[in-house]
């Protein structure tokens, strides 16, 4: 009876079809596991998707022009301004709420922390967080990050360069290149560290404790295993990242002193540092 009387069997409300969104040339393509990739790429329609078909439809039909997007550029253009990021365009249109968490984090820290701590926080945010407006945050917090340098240096350009070099060095210690971020360029005229963090030069000039040199002979079995594995990577220049875990009083610091003593005795540069004030104390 439902069919005879043409009663709807199902409804879609509101009548909206969700598009399969993707970045340019990053749509999904289906193929059999035995297909060769070059055939898949050259297959007719391989470069099309639901989203690109939507763009094409809007370009072909006059009633859609002016109110619907016809390209990726349209999605990033708001009030005639072409924006660098899709997310920023969505925020400008009010489609999503702007995330001010990182901005608020820097604001709070600028009130209670020293400029050096703020620079490290800014660097950490660059590495581990997704920022839509890196240059905007840089401009907003440059004065706070450079307060210590501005006290003895009236030249604003030089102060900015010193802060950039500090951030560059911290990024290097995290395995990142400052050139991959939209920040002002470092002027070679102000950079006399040859790309090596200043802290390394400072560490190299500190008198080393001769008592630490022989600590490696007093390591227990677990400490010895960590010591040998780390030293093996140093000696073979393979590099690596190691996490030494253990409750307080189990000899972590003793292991660190043994490593530093051995490396310093070999005239190698080894820097002891901490990621927070609590750890350094």
Last residue of a domain, one of 80, 96, 112: 96
| 203 assigned to some structural domain | no
| 47 assigned to some structural domain | yes
| 200 assigned to some structural domain | no
Mark out the alpha helices in the chain (DSSP H runs): 37-42, 50-60, 72-75, 86-92, 101-112, 115-128, 134-145, 147-150, 156-173, 198-204, 221-235, 252-265, 277-280
In a shared domain, residues 53 and 122: no
In a shared domain, residues 91 and 105: no
pLDDT of 98 reads 63
d(CA 166, CA 148): 13
| Ramachandran class of 182: left when φ > 0, alpha when ψ lies in -120 to 50, beta otherwise | beta
In a shared domain, residues 92 and 146: no
Name the residue among 104, 101, 139, 137 with its Cα closest to residue 122.
137
Last residue of a domain, one of 96, 124, 145: 96
In a shared domain, residues 77 and 127: no
Q: What is the pTM of this model?
A: 0.42
Token pair of 90 as six digits: 């969505």
pLDDT of 253 reads 86
Q: What is the pLDDT along the chain (281 residues), one digit of tens a residue?
A: 888 888 888 887 777 878 888 889 888 888 888 888 888 888 888 889 999 999 998 999 888 877 888 999 999 999 889 988 888 888 888 887 666 788 888 888 888 889 999 999 999 999 888 777 888 889 999 999 999 988 888 888 889 999 999 999 999 888 889 988 989 998 877 776 544 444 444 454 455 666 777 888 888 988 889 989 999 988 888 878 888 888 877 888 888 889 988 888 888 888 777 666 665 55
In a shared domain, residues 5 and 50: yes
In a shared domain, residues 56 and 5: yes
* Residue 78: its H or E element: strand 77-78
In a shared domain, residues 79 and 105: no
In a shared domain, residues 88 and 107: no
In a shared domain, residues 36 and 85: yes
pLDDT of 187 reads 85
| 40 assigned to some structural domain | yes
- The total number of structural domains in the chain stands at 3
| 201 assigned to some structural domain | no
Supply the range of the domain harboring residue 15: 1-96
In a shared domain, residues 86 and 9: yes
In a shared domain, residues 91 and 115: no
pLDDT of 276 reads 62
| 202 assigned to some structural domain | no
In a shared domain, residues 218 and 273: yes
Q: Are 109 and 99 in contact (CB under 8 A)?
A: no
Last residue of a domain, one of 35, 61, 96: 96
């Amino acid at each position: 009876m439902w069919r005879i009387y043409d009663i709807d069997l199902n409804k879609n409300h509101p009548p909206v079809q969700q598009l399969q969104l993707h970045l340019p040339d990053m749509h999904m393509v289906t193929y059999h596991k035995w297909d060769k990739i070059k055939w898949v790429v050259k297959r007719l329609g391989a470069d099309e998707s639901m989203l690109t078909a939507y763009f094409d439809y809007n370009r072909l039909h006059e009633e859609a022009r002016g109110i619907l997007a016809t390209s990726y550029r349209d999605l990033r253009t708001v009030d005639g301004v072409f924006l660098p990021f899709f997310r920023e365009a969505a925020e400008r249109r009010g489609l999503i709420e702007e995330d001010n968490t990182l901005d608020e984090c820097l604001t709070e820290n600028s009130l209670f922390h020293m400029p050096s701590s703020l620079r490290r926080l800014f660097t950490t945010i660059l590495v581990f967080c997704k920022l839509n407006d890196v240059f905007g945050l840089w401009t907003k917090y440059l004065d706070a990050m450079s307060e210590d340098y501005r006290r003895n240096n009236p030249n604003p350009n030089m102060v900015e360069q010193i802060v950039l070099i500090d951030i560059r060095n911290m990024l290097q210690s995290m395995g990142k290149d400052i050139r991959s971020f939209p920040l002002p360029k470092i002027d070679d005229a102000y950079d006399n560290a040859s790309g090596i963090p200043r802290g390394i030069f400072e560490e190299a000039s500190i008198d080393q404790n001769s008592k630490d040199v022989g600590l490696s002979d007093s390591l227990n079995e677990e400490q010895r295993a960590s010591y040998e594995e780390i030293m093996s990577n140093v000696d073979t220049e393979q590099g690596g990242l190691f996490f030494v875990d253990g409750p307080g009083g189990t000899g972590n610091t003793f292991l660190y002193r043994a490593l530093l003593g051995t490396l310093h005795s070999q005239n190698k540069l080894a820097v002891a540092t901490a990621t927070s004030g609590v750890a350094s104390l």
